């Protein structure tokens, strides 16, 4: 079963759905400091359905000049790619599990190759936000002290005794980085058209 949509209509609805899911994640992360699993699952299901039921295309899918569905397996590979890129950040306690799962769900919309680009845009946005927050709150000395402690532990072959969940100077809601990264990603893709 596929929907009889034109590729451009399918693309517009797909991008709108991804933006809506991201905005809901930002609102939730700002309000309760977490991205709920129900939102992650909804985002994942919409992305998978979009690429399973949409007009067929074997190129860059949703973000191509000639948009079309990648199919179920490439969409699932996008999920895996998004998950694996952010998983190490969760393992060192630099990112919450909801952020990792949300990046995986966004990968369902992008497919594997574009998930890499989107993740890079999100990470750059998160880095810029972190630097701005550190400067704004005048906490650069404390943050740099924490970074020095982590690197010193690694250089001496010891696991860092730093727990970002309890010892962070500031816990930044990362969903805003997803929104800014998605904006940058969409700008890059639209410029390529």
At residue 163, what are phi and psi to the nearest 5 degrees?
-115, 105
User: Quick one: pLDDT band at residue 5, thresholds 50, 70, 90?
Assistant: confident
User: Quick one: pLDDT band at residue 48, thresholds 50, 70, 90?
Assistant: very high
pLDDT score for 173:
83
As a whole number of angstroms, the distance between CA 71 and CA 56 comes to 7
pLDDT score for 189:
84
pTM of the model: 0.82
pLDDT over threshold 90, residue 43: yes
Which tops the pLDDT comparison, 96 or 22?
A: 22
* 92 to 86, 159, 193: CA distances (angstroms): 11, 10, 38
User: Quick one: pLDDT band at residue 55, thresholds 50, 70, 90?
Assistant: confident
Span of 33-37, 93-97, 153-157 with lowest mean pLDDT: 153-157
pLDDT score for 161:
55
- For the chain, the farthest-separated pair of C-alpha atoms sits apart, in whole angstroms, at 60
Q: Parse the chain into domains and list their residue ranges.
A: 7-192
pLDDT score for 162:
52
* 102 to 19, 50, 68, 178: CA distances (angstroms): 13, 17, 23, 9
Which tops the pLDDT comparison, 139 or 120?
A: 120
């Amino acid at each position: 079963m596929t929907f009889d949509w034109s590729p451009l209509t399918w693309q517009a609805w797909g991008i709108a759905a991804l933006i809506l899911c991201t905005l809901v994640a930002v609102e939730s992360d700002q309000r309760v400091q977490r991205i709920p699993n129900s939102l992650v699952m909804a985002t994942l299901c919409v992305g998978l359905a979009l690429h399973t039921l949409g007009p067929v295309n074997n190129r860059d899918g949703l973000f191509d000049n000639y948009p079309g569905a990648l199919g179920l397996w490439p969409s699932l590979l996008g999920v895996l790619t998004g998950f694996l890129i952010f998983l190490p950040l969760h393992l060192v306690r630099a990112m919450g599990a909801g952020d990792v799962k949300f990046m995986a769900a966004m990968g369902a919309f992008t497919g594997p190759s574009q998930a890499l680009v989107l993740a890079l845009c999100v990470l750059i946005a998160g880095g810029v936000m972190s630097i701005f927050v550190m400067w704004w709150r005048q906490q650069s000395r404390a943050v740099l002290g924490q970074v020095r402690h982590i690197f010193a532990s690694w250089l001496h072959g010891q696991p860092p005794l730093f727990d970002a969940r309890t010892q962070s100077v500031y816990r930044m809601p990362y969903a805003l980085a997803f929104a800014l990264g998605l904006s940058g990603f969409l700008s890059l893709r639209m410029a390529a058209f």
